[in-house]
Each structure stands twice: as structure tokens, then as C-alpha cells.
Amino acid sequence: MRVIAGLAALLVSLCLATGALAHAVLVSTEPADGSVLTQSPKTLQLRFSEAVEPAVVSLIDAAGKTRDVTVRAADQTVVISLPDELPRGTQVVSYRVVSQDGHPVAGSLMFSIGAVTGNATRMETSFVVSVLIWLFRIGVYLGLFAGVGGVFFASWIGWGPSGARVIIGALRVGLVSAIVSLGLQGVDLLNLPLGGLFSFAPWKSAFGTSLGPSLLIAIAAMLIARLGWQSPSMSMSWKLTAAAMAGVGLSLSTSSHAATAAPEWVTGPAVFVHGVAVAFWVGALAPLIALARKRNGTVLPVLLRFSGVAVPVVLALVLTGFGLAIVQLETFGALIGSRQSVAFSLSDLATQVEAARLLTYKAAALKDAGIVT
């Protein structure tokens, strides 16, 4: 369990290191947030940094009553038709839209008619739901990277069940997390209390976003990996684990924000390759640690096989990571100028390249010395 906790901590750090890859953000509104108008506007326009789909929009007027509104989306702009004869005072419009990567983006704004009043309050997003969404999303990554990646390593590189407890545990955590994440996505999208998980509406809403298919693919990948682990023949295990690894890349490229950035014919495959490369590296950790603890000769041939593919995988990881970062930040100068997140990523990638290089040299030395064949 300590290994699983360590892998989860690693995934947390990786998630925090991708701050440059944001979801859709509100760019401007008309009328502006906090403005005081002489008469009631007919429409309210919200302009975002990318195309969005409206999910829930509500209006609470100055009298504290919830009013019906009609909403339509026009590319990056959401147009809200307001009711006639709004009362004098401050009105609050709360919105939830779905960004291109399938994640909800929520917010609210106020405008006043005639004068500012203190009756209206902004609708806040549940802190508990937000925390749970992050925790279970990390659980999904744990299942994809440590679980599916670990099964792939055991089948193709390790040729044995080393690290079984961590790998199977990660798959179980990932499967549960993927299912719960679907419900939490719907709860957040509809701004429901946590008890809304036990109703049908949030699940239906979640399946309507790109995150729904992405999580279904993730679930399928983890189930296929579990079958590959139990496969009685190596040839079937290779086929199943290869399909599961493809599922990892497909799941990430289906809903990832980076995969939806233009040009998608480049970013989609780049996210696919990047995700598979991460799963290969993270999945190798638990089996290699388990083999090293045995302190016998079994780790050396495994290390040799691993080192043979480690460098190409790291190169793919670096190239796709740099490419996606440049696409998101639009210029190479922005990549260099982003101090904390990008510096962490570059340092992490440099460490992985050096580790792969050392593994290759060590394995070659062992082979030249006749210790392994």
C-alpha cells in the first residue's frame, strides 16, 4: 500500500505540474460584471476563450426569486435571454458550461438595475465535490498508469507477476474511481449536492460530455488489462495488454484539453503517445522495485530488456510533451518563460532521460561482462 500511495503522490505532482493546460475561461461579459444599468437588458453575453456548451444557467433576481432564462451557444459566446421587467436592484446570473475537454466550468456575475442592493448572493461551487473530483481523477490515473502499465510491463518486459499486489490494487482503485468520477462529473455539471449521485440526472449529463466516453474507454482498458493478467498463454496476454495500453492513450486523447487544441490531427495523436509513454514508465516502477527487493539474478535480464526500449519511450515522452506545451502556450518563448510548472516538467523529463541512459549503459556493461546474455 505504501507503493500505491507513493505512485498516487507522483501522479498528484504530475497533475500540479500541468498548470499551463487550462480549461475554458471567461474572457468578457456584456453587460460587465458589477455594472449598474438604467434599464433591464434583453440579453446577457458570456464570451469564453474557446467554444463551450451551456449546461446550467440560472438567474436570481433582486427580489431573491429564481427566474427562467433561455440560453443558446454561438461558438465561444453564450447568449442568455433575460425575462422582461426585472425588479430594481442587483441580479445574479450563475452558469455552468462544458469546455472542449469535457470538464465543467462554473462561475457567476452580477449586474444591477438602477442601484446596487444587498439581497443577491453568488452561487458557490461545492468545495467537497471539487476535492472529490480531483481525488477520484487521480485514482483513474493510478489505474491507467500503474495498473494497465504494470500489467503491460509484466507481460512484455518482466515475464512474471512481480509487483502483483500494487498492480492489481491500482486496477481496482482505478475502476472504482472511474465509475465514481462519472457521477461526480454530473453532480458538478448540474450543481447538485453530493447526494445527487444517487439520482439518474447527473449520470445522464456526464455521458453527454466528452469525459463520459473517455472514462468508459478507461474502464474497458483496465478490465482488458485484468484479463491479460489472468491469461493462460503469453500470446493472448501480449494481445490483451497491447490493447489495454492503446486504451490508455485513447482514453486520454478523447477528453484531454491538450487533445482538443488546434491542430487536432497533431495534438490528438501526441496525447495518445504521451499517455502510453507515461503508462510504460509508471507501470514499470512497482515490478522493478519488487524484483530488486528479491536480491537475486532475476532483476538483471529484466533490466536489460527494459533498458532496450526505455530511451525511445523517453524520447517520445519528451517530444510529445514539448509539442503539446508549445501548442498550448502558442510560442516557444512562452514555454521558456513559464517558470514553475514548466521548469518542474523539464527537470522531470531530464531526470527520466538520464535514468534511461544509465539503465542502458548498465545493462550493456552487464552483457559485455557475461553476467547476463
- On the question of pLDDT at 358 being above 70, the answer is no
Assigned C-alpha cell, 145 = 498508469
Where residue 329 falls among pLDDT bands split at 50, 70, 90? low
Q: Could you give the angle at the alpha carbon of 311 between the alpha carbons of 306 and 316, nearest 5°?
A: 120
Band (pLDDT 50/70/90 cuts) for residue 364 is low
Q: How many CA atoms lie within 13 A of 92 on its CB side?
A: 17
Contacts of 356 (CB under 8 A, 6+ apart): 307, 310, 311, 313, 314
Q: Is the pLDDT of residue 359 over 60?
A: no
Question: ∠ CA 127-132-135 to the nearest 5 degrees?
Answer: 130
Beta partners for residue 74, in sequence order = 77
Asked if pLDDT for residue 22 goes beyond 80, the answer is no
Residues with Cβ < 8 Å from 294, sequence gap 6 or more? none
Fold of 26-113: Immunoglobulin-like (2.60.40)
More confident residue, 260 or 42: 42
Say what percent of the chain tops pLDDT 90: 33
pLDDT band at 336 (very low <50, low <70, confident <90, very high): very low
Least confident of 139-148, 178-187, 330-339: 330-339
Residue 84 φ/ψ, nearest 5 degrees? -75, 160
Residue-level pLDDT at 347: 40
Identify which has the larger pLDDT, 341 or 70. Answer: 70
User: Which segment of 20-34, 81-95, 218-232, 345-359 scores lowest on mean pLDDT?
Assistant: 345-359
Report how far residue 337's alpha carbon sits from residue 325's, in angstroms, rounded to the nearest whole number. 12
pLDDT at 296 > cutoff 90: no
Chain region(s) in the chain for CATH 2.60.40.1220: 26-113
Region for 192 from its dihedrals, namely left if φ exceeds 0, alpha if ψ lies in -120 to 50, beta otherwise: beta
pLDDT at residue 260, as a whole number: 63
Report the first-to-last Cα separation within the chain, whole angstroms. 34
- Comparison of pLDDT for 39 and 337, the residue scoring more: 39
pLDDT of residue 184: 92
| Residue 225 vs residue 265, higher pLDDT | 225
For residues 58 and 368, which has the higher predicted lDDT (pLDDT)?
58
pLDDT digits (tens, 9 = 90+) for 92-146: 898 888 887 777 888 888 999 988 887 555 656 678 888 999 999 999 999 999 9
Residue 341's pLDDT is 38
Measured between alpha carbons, how far is 19 from 260 in angstroms, rounded to an integer?
16
